[in-house]
Amino acid sequence: RARRLLYGESHALAAIRLLTCSRRRYGGYIVHLGFVVLCAGLAGSALRQQHDVTLGAAQTFSTRDPWGHTWTFMSLGVSNDEQLNRIVRFVALSPTRDGRPQPFIRSEMRLHVDAFRESAFAPSTVPGILRNWREDVYVVFTGVSADGRAGMSISFNPLVSWDWCGGVLMLLGGLIVLWPPLGGAHREAGYLAEIP
């Protein structure tokens, strides 16, 4: 704001010139801001909730997340998808938050096979993730029961995106601090002695 009043610069130009004039000071501010955001994200992990449920097709599970919102997950059933090198079994969920529809979540269990359709590796699980700035909702498909219902783990992980934002801010601040000056190294004022 001071640069804009003194020099009539735009917001972006004033911010860039301010950073280049005092890189260590403002880069340090950005690093500390990133550290605070990162700590807030880590504190959010204490509010993590996990629910192990078993749902058949069209069955629902309702719960409240750490923020007090009511979530309802309706199972769309278990499906199989056979491909050349793997057999995929997956479950899809149709979630709502406070009655408002959310994007579908799909979690898979993959079994990689060879040319003889024999298992080549242990089955691997691909979680379904629904992300927003407040929390990540994870769905992990754990298997199918004898009556054909899908077992899954549904977890709410608050402030995960804050961890990433804090790390990016710390990296950005560190780069600003370590970036060499644009005009080259400036010689300190004072006496100069040259040794032959």
In this prediction, residue 192 has a pLDDT band, given cuts at 50, 70 and 90, of low
**Is a pLDDT exceeding 80 seen at residue 170?**
yes
C-alpha span between 106 and 118 (Å, rounded): 25
What's the rounded Cα separation, in Å, for the pair 129 and 124? 16
Strand partners, 50: 155
Beta bridge partners of 138: 129, 155
Check residue 187 and give its pLDDT.
52
Of the candidates 145, 159, 180, 182, the one whose C-alpha atom is nearest the C-alpha of residue 39 is: 159
In the block, residue with structure tokens 């298992």? 119
190 pLDDT band (50/70/90 cuts)?
A: low
- How many CA atoms lie less than 13 Å away from 85 in the CB half-sphere? 2
Burial class (CB in 10 A: 0-12, 13-18, 19+), 95: buried
Q: Which two tokens stand for residue 60?
A: 């629902």
The pLDDT tens digits for 135-168 are 999 999 998 888 889 999 999 999 999 999 999 9
What are the tens digits of pLDDT across the range 34-65?
999 999 999 998 999 999 999 999 999 999 99
pLDDT tops 90 at residue 176: no
